[in-house]
Structure 1
Amino acid sequence: PMKPYKKIKKFEQLELWNMGDVYAYQFSTKEAEESGIYKKYILMQKVGENGMGYPYEGFRYDVIQIYDRLFDELPDPEVIKDIRLLPESTPYRVNEEMKKKFPLHMSAGMDYLKASEYPRKRLHFLG
């Protein structure tokens, strides 16, 4: 007899942030503890959206920039405006020829397929 068809899990689009939203994320993993950043916060601001490729066509994700500072406590939103955003460069920029052809990317994508990758209790909306 044939095996029954295996049901393929349908991915659901996760809720995206609004443009310009700033969130603080608190590190809580074993890796964070080993790196000395356990329970510290980073700040992220949404600067765009992008689409995912195969096999997740049609799914969107937030494009973010990260602020150049770690915090021991949640910061006051007024403090944020004086902190610079970190530049982010993609791996192809290690090639000198590619550096000439492509501009520096100043953002990163939050590529996640399930809510548990960024637990809500660790994300704090700042504005």
Structure 2
Amino acid sequence: MLGFFLRRIMSAINLNEKLTLFQETWTPKIIGELNGQQVKLAKLKGEFVWHQHENEDELFYVVKGQLIIELRDQTITLKEGEMYIVPRGVEHKPIAHEEVHVMLFEPASTAHTGDIEHELTKDELDWI
């Protein structure tokens, strides 16, 4: 286990390479961790569920494609190279009309679908 951990911290992480390692959508993969925050990659397509994270902010950075984040009072549209931080407690619903690749930064304690249980909920995420 120590060797795996050291390899993770001793080499550069290529986002495009990591994104070739999985096909599932709405299933974030952990690629790093720092100061209690996890860095995740995800492929998104379609609509997610309305949810909120009561105690955690959530950062979405679009690597490829266009992501829509619906809020109850506005719509945020993100293009490649753009990011948005959803403040804690704000209900949101990500939407990807075409496949989108995103990087997420959030506390390790962040529940995948926040305050709700849904068929898309992932209780444990894989490291890649």
Structure 1 length-normalised TM: 0.26
Q: Which has the higher strand share?
A: 2
Q: Which has the higher helix share?
A: 1
Structure 2 length-normalised TM: 0.25
Which structure is richer in relative contact order (CA contacts within 8 A, separation 6 or more)? 2
Larger radius of gyration between Structure 1 and Structure 2? 1
